[in-house]
Amino acid sequence: GAVVSQHPSRVICKSGTSVKIECRSLDFQATTMFWYRQFPKQSLMLMATSNEGSKATYEQGVEKDKFLINHASLTLSTLTVTSAHPEDSSFYICSARNRGRQGYTFGSGTRLTVV
Amino acid sequence: AQSVTQPDIHITVSEGASLELRCNYSYGATPYLFWYVQSPGQGLQLLLKYFSGDTLVQGIKGFEAEFKRSQSSFNLRKPSVHWSDAAEYFCAVAENTGTASKLTFGTGTRLQVTL
């Protein structure tokens, strides 16, 4: 079945530094990648949608200059949290779709802690 | 815009008992509906989905869900719950099957199973 590999699973960084999260589709081409954020005991909130080779579309209220999304290839998308602050601490999850697939394949998530 | 409501934040059932998790959606056209399960600190696993056809959908791990258009519902059921079913369950809706169609999640229902 379809697999999306997300790394790292956990990361702790200092306030003011940047963190990159990678999502790779292992056995299919991820035409579209969705990035979600999940606070403890809450639901998933969509941050942005990216199509391969295009600029990401950000949801209202999400700072595009803070959360940089790159989707340069059909198998790799990255989310970079720039100048991270403690309030950016959260669980980040990616989800990939392919033109020929009806479902969404999720990564295993990244727990970001900013200290 | 579509929305999803999961009225029950937390449900506790005894092992072996039946389970029903409620999900109501709001969308003008035929929705595409999903149920996902999430264990702590993990990504999302698809239990089942409904796109069209038979309104009773069978999924993995013995789960099923029934799409009822008249009630705008897509409730998840399992005849006999196992302790390993304890997790967070999310209902989600997509506008269509297009690759850029985003998922909107409900707030989730936390299932606790007592032995």
Q: In a structure prediction context, what are the per-residue pLDDT tens digits for chain B, which is 115 residues long? A: 788 999 999 999 999 999 999 999 988 777 899 999 999 888 899 999 998 889 999 999 999 999 999 999 999 999 999 999 999 999 999 877 666 688 899 999 999 999 9
| Sheet arrangement for strand A76-81 | A4-7, A19-25, A76-81, A67-73
Res A95: pLDDT: 94
Res A101: pLDDT: 64
Closest of B63, B88, B87 to residue B76, by C-alpha: B63
One digit per residue, pLDDT tens: chain A, 115 residues?
788 999 999 999 999 999 999 999 998 888 899 999 998 888 899 999 998 888 899 999 999 999 999 998 989 999 999 999 999 999 999 999 876 666 789 999 999 999 9
Res A102: pLDDT: 65
d(CA A112, CA A26): 23
d(CA B27, CA B83): 34
d(CA B40, CA B35): 17
Q: Which of A42, A49, A108 sits opposite B100 (nearest CB)?
A: A49
Q: Does B34 touch chain A (CB under 8 A)?
A: yes
CB contact under 8 A, B104 and A46: yes
d(CA A24, CA A62): 23
Res B100: pLDDT: 67
